[in-house]
Amino acid sequence: DARDFSLYGVDALVSLGDSSRIIAEYAQSSLSGTPFNNADGSAYRFEASSEFTDNFFGRAYIRSADSGFSNTATTSLRPGQTRCGGELSALVGSSTQLEFQYDQEDNRGFAPGVLTGFDALRNVRDADPFALQGAPVNNSLTTLRAGLQQQIGSATVDLGYVSRDRNDRTDLIGRRDFSSSQIVSGLTLPIANNLSFRAQNELNIGGDDDPLYPGRTVLGLDWQVLPEITVRLAQQFFSSSEVAPD
């Protein structure tokens, strides 16, 4: 095996009082000797968060990785992607929470390769994480979210608005430029100590019919086998004509 891979990085955590902190990371990689991804690249991440009061929290972040950056140890830095945004969360009363999120991502280079088929699933432990390269990408996505979460007894009810604006800058795999809006509602209801019922509906209310985020309804059960492991059984019902079968 003539593959040569190296990765090094530095990180820092700065606490600003008891409720605020800044995280900074930088990494650089070098890879050669594989069918794909023979390249050098660097990546960085900055994040600042603060609990302004007991009921008000805020976070802002930016992270970026060159398309030649390689790292199989984490998914927080995706090769070829620059992402920035922020969120604000406020607790109104004892059972109502308001949330606002903004996210901007820019993708370039190549999408990660996806293993498919029974043989790939059976031999996933032996798969070469550097061997696959997906389709070329060059797009941007802006997402705005605003919503509230209400606690009613043991049940949790969510209601939010999501706006997405996607701009595709390549025709290699077909342009997908969309501007769409959805109303997202959800219900989580515990029915046992380790079993919960979940329902979620995503309703397109205007703009383009986005096949990447179609209208759908999801019904399912979450079984918490262990504190770290949850098994979900769910059924999806699509309402978009581009996704739902004829």
Give per-10-residue mean pLDDT for the chain (246 aa): 77 92 92 67 93 93 87 67 95 93 90 65 56 74 96 95 90 72 95 94 82 90 92 90 54
Determine the pLDDT at residue 86.
Answer: 97
**pTM over the 0.85 mark:** no
Please check whether residue 196 is in contact with residue 164, taking contact to mean a CB–CB distance below 8 angstroms.
Answer: no
**pLDDT of 137:** 81
